[in-house]
A and B are shown apart, each in its own frame.
Chain A
Amino acid sequence: MSRDSIKSPAATLASNLNSSTGQTGKPLTITTLVSVGQHPKSGRARVADQDAKALELALSLSAGKGTAAVGKGEAGAGKSQINLIHAGTATAEQQLVLRGYLGMGVGQMRVLKQSDGADVIPVLVDAVRKSGSDVVLTGSRAEAGEGSGMTPYLVAQSLGWPMVPAAVEITAVGSGEFEILQALPRGQRRLLKVRAPFVASIDAAAAEARQTAWAAGQRGALEHMTLSSNDDAVLAEAAVEPARKRPKRIARAKKAKTAADRFKAATAKSASKGGAVLVKESAEEKAEAIYQMLLSQGVLKAR
């Protein structure tokens, strides 16, 4: 398949940008979209964990960690610019939280003020479009509100850029090309290659965000812009309530179709885990019991 011949306008734009980012040493522009999170226990507004990790990735990318394009000697040449953008109601309480991102070492944040219940995607897309970004980083899932995880996809879709989910590490390898390490379950990783511009969402497994310095956050600037809001009609129609406890699945007794089934149902262990204690068995038997549990949990990788 020769896909190279097909070039969308976005791709052309991409290659233009690429030639200007990597080789000529034009500094990168990295935009991080951040939201106001929510503490899972108290429900109180906080710096969103994944968004902070996204900003952390942006900061380390801008510091040129492993950037081949930026020679070590060219001081400052590779210093990328970080755009921090938030769209939302930005109440006083939320602004305190937003300053938490500034406290990670970014001088200012663009705050796109929206009315309550607005769909923030259009203003975000507009802001990113105007920012001349090469890389847009977001969290994977918002902590507050619907938390559908759509934001990065919609931004990427509107811009016509590729969208890379679950990034844990991003390295610029030069010529506008980036290597992205993607988190797979159980600590496994996959390597992806993508050219700027692109959008990436950051996985919870990414490096912990640096601590926010309170004073730096206070001194940083929140540049407010009040923009007209588009109401989020869909969410307005939906019923939003505190989460209910999910009912435990009751193992519906399979209709006993055979004698064997009936026997199985009769002898099935109850779900309660007793916490078996083996004392008198031989070491081999004890090991066997452990081994069986490992097998049943599926943690033993067959070789």
Chain B
Amino acid sequence: MSDVIRKDPRKNWILRNRLHPLHEQVVAEMNGPAAVVRGPSGLIRKNPHAVGFIGPNGIKRIDRLGGSGSAAASAKREQQEEQLPIIAIEQPQSYVVVVVDAANGELSAHDRDVLGQARLLADGRAENTAVVALVFGALKAALGEAANPDHAFGLAGADRVMLFDDECYAGFAPEQQLEAMLAVDRQLSPVNWLFPDTHLSGNDRALRLAARLGERPAMHAWQIKDGKVTSRGGSEMTDITRDLAAATAPRILALASECALPVDEARYEARLLPLPSVPNAMVRIKDAGAVAVDPNQIAMGEAEFILSAGNGIHDWDQFHATAAALGATEGASRVAVDNGFMPRFRQVGATGTWVTARVYIAVGISGAVQHLQGIGSCEKVIAINTDAGCDMVKRADLSVIGDSQEILAALKARAEQGAVAVSEPQQGKADGESNHNVA
């Protein structure tokens, strides 16, 4: 296991290596996500004391780029990479507007896919067409007034950006956001409105806009090809294809992820557009804030990370402590339930809950069919078991063979360490070369 190195050097190495898949995460850890919290009103609050970390020479460093690093045209990058060309659309005659989710102020992969699609639509038009990214809420990495081709938005293909970061757009504010979209619609008359088809954000916005404008949207669209848009019908059983050139062509499109490839061959200006004046909406839906949900209160069927216990668990206190340390929802095999160690509603399987977790860790569970039935739609299964030949190991994406008690102890320690690493400033001590973190 060459990639398991003692934690400090490894972390530093990742910090240095921006190509490392974990790079962003580690930087975020370094900066301390606790530095940015959302207040009860949904307002972003910065804790100036938690921001930054102590650099090698004892000087506090703050990464104002939110750790994304992508906006910084660092010296190092310039050395290593050829510059992507910058494409500027001057005086656009028409617009394709993408209302990105940008949850937490950063573009998601889905956002980038939709921007990629927007690019294709805009570039395929005869007239000068600009892609406008419309954002509700503050951005993590600020955009200046000038062109920003190296900002995440520029790299993702946005010619222009409209940033509605007023407090009234924060949280769940669909009515006010709709007023903003209507104002943009009046101002730009976009040829297309694109949305990532995401639960409660893109999806809701697209439907609201379409309903208000009296237009027929193309929802759940997964492909735009040869001037036609194809949407998935109900129950994912049909494909509904509509001609984008027809009179009844949908102007409002909610696109599935991977609808198109994200932009990667050029940079765009990502220039801020002045905002139109937006009337105050009559707010009838009041957002009273998120309700704190303890991972152990989440319905099993909805939990995204489950640590599940079977007959191979011998130290139950340790199991519960590990689940708590990992922030995982607890699950169980029927035997663990039958033996009275776990409550019945925690049972996973044919006669229990069918779970849909992204990660399911089966500790000391042999993998009987009835149990496997319940985890059929889990994305990643991790097995911890003494028996390398058991069916759970066959099903698992990662198996570690060994005694549950020993491995849970190590895992719990590792999880706690992870948390420690975030708050301990000296973690960055040997961080001599991470120059991109310089403020």
Q: Chain A: residues with CB nearer than 8 A to chain B?
A: 1, 3, 6-8, 11, 14, 37-40, 43, 141-150, 153-154, 156-157, 162-166, 179, 181-195, 198, 205, 233-235, 237-244, 246, 249, 252, 254-255, 257-260, 264, 273, 275-279, 281, 283-303
Q: Mark B280-300, 1 if CB is under 8 A from A, else 0.
A: 111111111111010000110
What's the least CB distance linking B194 to chain A, in Å?
16
CA distance A205 to B168 in the complex (A): 28
Q: Which of A259, A276, A284 interacts with B414 by CB under 8 Å?
A: A284
Q: Is the CB of A281 within 8 A of B1?
A: yes
Residue of B34, B240, B359, B409 most packed against chain A (CB within 10 A): B240
Q: Which of B52-60, B207-215, B369-377 makes up part of the contact surface? A: B207-215
Q: Is the CB of B290 within 8 A of A189?
A: yes
- For A6, what are the chain B residues with a Cβ–Cβ distance below 8 Å? 280, 282
Q: Which of B200, B281, B301, B388 interacts with A166 by CB under 8 Å?
A: B200
Assess whether B75 is interfacial by the CB under 8 Å rule: no
- For A295, what are the chain B residues with a Cβ–Cβ distance below 8 Å? 22, 25
Q: Chain B: residues with CB nearer than 8 A to chain A?
A: 1, 3-4, 19, 21-22, 25, 28-29, 33-34, 80-82, 168, 172, 174-175, 199-200, 203-204, 207-208, 210-212, 216-220, 222-223, 231-243, 246, 248, 258, 261, 264-265, 280-291, 293, 298-299, 301-305, 326-329, 358-359, 361, 379-380, 382, 384, 388, 393-394, 396-402, 406-407, 409-411, 413-415, 418-419, 422
- For B82, what are the chain A residues with a Cβ–Cβ distance below 8 Å? 257-258
- For A287, what are the chain B residues with a Cβ–Cβ distance below 8 Å? 400, 407, 410-411, 413-414
**Given A243-B238, A291-B415: A193 and B211 within 8 A (CB)?**
no
Q: Is the CB of A182 within 8 A of B407?
A: no
Q: Is the CB of A162 within 8 A of B291?
A: no
What's the least CB distance linking B7 to chain A, in Å?
9
What's the least CB distance linking A153 to chain B, in Å?
4
What's the least CB distance linking B55 to chain A, in Å?
21
What's the least CB distance linking B82 to chain A, in Å?
5
Q: Which of B222, B235, B246 interacts with A143 by CB under 8 Å?
A: B235
Q: Which of A163, A187, A241, A264 interacts with B241 by CB under 8 Å?
A: A241
Q: Is the CB of B280 within 8 A of A162?
A: no
Q: Is the CB of B415 within 8 A of A164?
A: no
CA distance A257 to B298 in the complex (A): 45
CA distance A259 to B81 in the complex (A): 9
Q: Is the CB of A142 within 8 A of B359?
A: no
**Given A141-B234, A184-B290: A297 and B380 within 8 A (CB)?**
yes
**Given A150-B217, A277-B401, A283-B407: A235 and B240 within 8 A (CB)?**
yes
Q: Is the CB of B234 within 8 A of A146?
A: yes
- For B302, what are the chain A residues with a Cβ–Cβ distance below 8 Å? 186-187, 205
Q: Could you give 28 example pairs across A and B, Cβ below 8 Å?
A: A3-B283, A11-B284, A14-B284, A37-B235, A145-B233, A149-B219, A150-B217, A181-B291, A182-B200, A184-B199, A186-B302, A187-B302, A190-B287, A190-B290, A194-B285, A234-B248, A240-B240, A246-B223, A273-B397, A284-B414, A285-B4, A286-B400, A288-B4, A289-B1, A289-B400, A290-B361, A299-B359, A302-B422
**Given A147-B234, A246-B222, A302-B29: A252 and B411 within 8 A (CB)?**
no
Q: Is the CB of A184 within 8 A of B200?
A: yes
Q: Is the CB of A191 within 8 A of B400?
A: no
- For B388, what are the chain A residues with a Cβ–Cβ distance below 8 Å? 277, 279
CA distance A284 to B10 in the complex (A): 15
- For B238, what are the chain A residues with a Cβ–Cβ distance below 8 Å? 145, 240-243
CA distance A290 to B280 in the complex (A): 50
What's the least CB distance linking B304 to chain A, in Å?
5
What's the least CB distance linking A14 to chain B, in Å?
8
- For A233, what are the chain B residues with a Cβ–Cβ distance below 8 Å? 248
Q: Which of B234, B239, B265, B283 interacts with A145 by CB under 8 Å?
A: B234
Closest 5 CB pairs of A and B: A147-B234, A187-B298, A287-B410, A187-B302, A299-B305
Q: Is the CB of A293 within 8 A of B398?
A: yes
**Given A157-B212, A184-B200, A241-B239: A284 and B34 within 8 A (CB)?**
no
Q: Is the CB of A162 within 8 A of B175?
A: yes
**Given A246-B222, A279-B388: A294 and B168 within 8 A (CB)?**
no
What's the least CB distance linking A96 to chain B, in Å?
19
Q: Is the CB of A142 within 8 A of B234?
A: yes
CA distance A237 to B216 in the complex (A): 13
Residue of B4, B242, B265 most packed against chain A (CB within 10 A): B4
What's the least CB distance linking B229 to chain A, in Å?
10
Q: Is the CB of A275 within 8 A of B232?
A: no
Q: Is the CB of B235 within 8 A of A144?
A: yes
Q: Is the CB of B208 within 8 A of A284?
A: no
What's the least CB distance linking B85 to chain A, in Å?
12
**Given A3-B282, A186-B304, A264-B19: A290 and B236 within 8 A (CB)?**
no
**Nearest residue, chain B, Cβ from A233:** B248
**Given A166-B200, A188-B290, A246-B222: A146 and B233 within 8 A (CB)?**
yes
- For B261, what are the chain A residues with a Cβ–Cβ distance below 8 Å? 249, 252
What's the least CB distance linking B293 to chain A, in Å?
5
- For B243, what are the chain A residues with a Cβ–Cβ distance below 8 Å? 237
CA distance A235 to B241 in the complex (A): 9
- For B327, what are the chain A residues with a Cβ–Cβ distance below 8 Å? 300-301, 303
Q: Is the CB of A154 within 8 A of B175?
A: no
Q: Is the CB of A187 within 8 A of B21?
A: no
- For B283, what are the chain A residues with a Cβ–Cβ distance below 8 Å? 3
**Nearest residue, chain B, Cβ from A7:** B282
Q: Is the CB of B380 within 8 A of A147?
A: no
CA distance A177 to B280 in the complex (A): 22
**Given A237-B248, A257-B81, A275-B398: A192 and B288 within 8 A (CB)?**
yes
What's the least CB distance linking A249 to chain B, in Å?
5
- For A237, what are the chain B residues with a Cβ–Cβ distance below 8 Å? 242-243, 246, 248
